[in-house]
């Protein structure tokens, strides 16, 4: 199994809603990532988890709250988002965060904030 599975594929939410994005991998990878991608731009790193601990937070606003309940799962909790947060949110994993391991990306969750 070389897949990173993200759910939901599409999400529409209002600015007062609370929702979550989920990411799952069963490759035994110990590094997991959240990226945000706006149209026609490269992905921007948001968070890195290494061995289930948050190792990088790229100064992401607190309305985005990551969680890594176990080595296979990564969540991104969303609350009080703004329309400019509408984007494709990509999850990725790799064997080790600081090494040269290959990255595996999910298909992404396309978020629209109304």
Partner 1 sequence: KNEVEQSPQNLTAQEGEFITINCSYSVGISALHWLQQHPGGGIVSLFMLSSGKKKHGRLIATINIQEKHSSLHITASHPRDSAVYICAVRDSGAQKLVFGQGTRLTINP
Composition of the chain by helix, strand, coil, percent to 5 = 5, 55, 40
Listed ranges 14-22, 39-47, 61-69, 74-82: which one lies at the site for partner 1 (CB under 8 A): 39-47
103 binds partner 1 (CB under 8 A): yes
Per CB under 8 A, 21 contacts partner 1: no
> Binding pattern to partner 1, positions 57-86, x when CB under 8 A?
------------------------------
Q: How far apart are alpha carbons 31 and 54 in whole angstroms?
A: 10
x/- track of binding to partner 1 for residues 41-60 (CB under 8 A): xxx-x--x-x----xx----
Whole-number Å distance between alpha carbons of 108 and 34: 10
CA separation for the pair 74, 77 (Å, rounded): 10
Q: State the residue for tokens 């289930």.
A: 52
Binding site for partner 1 (CB under 8 A): 6, 31, 40-43, 45, 48, 50, 55-56, 90, 92, 97-108, 110
């Amino acid at each position: 199994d070389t897949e990173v599975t993200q759910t939901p594929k599409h999400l529409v939410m209002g600015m007062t809603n609370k929702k979550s994005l989920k990411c799952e991998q069963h490759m035994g990878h110990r590094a997991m990532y959240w990226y945000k991608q706006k149209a026609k731009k490269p992905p921007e790193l948001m968070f890195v988890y290494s061995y289930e601990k948050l190792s990088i937070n790229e100064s992401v606003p607190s309305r985005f709250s990551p969680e890594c309940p176990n080595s296979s799962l990564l969540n991104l909790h969303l609350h009080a988002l703004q329309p400019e947060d509408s984007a494709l949110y990509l999850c990725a994993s790799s064997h080790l965060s600081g090494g040269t391991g290959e990255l595996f990306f999910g298909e992404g969750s396309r978020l629209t904030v109304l």
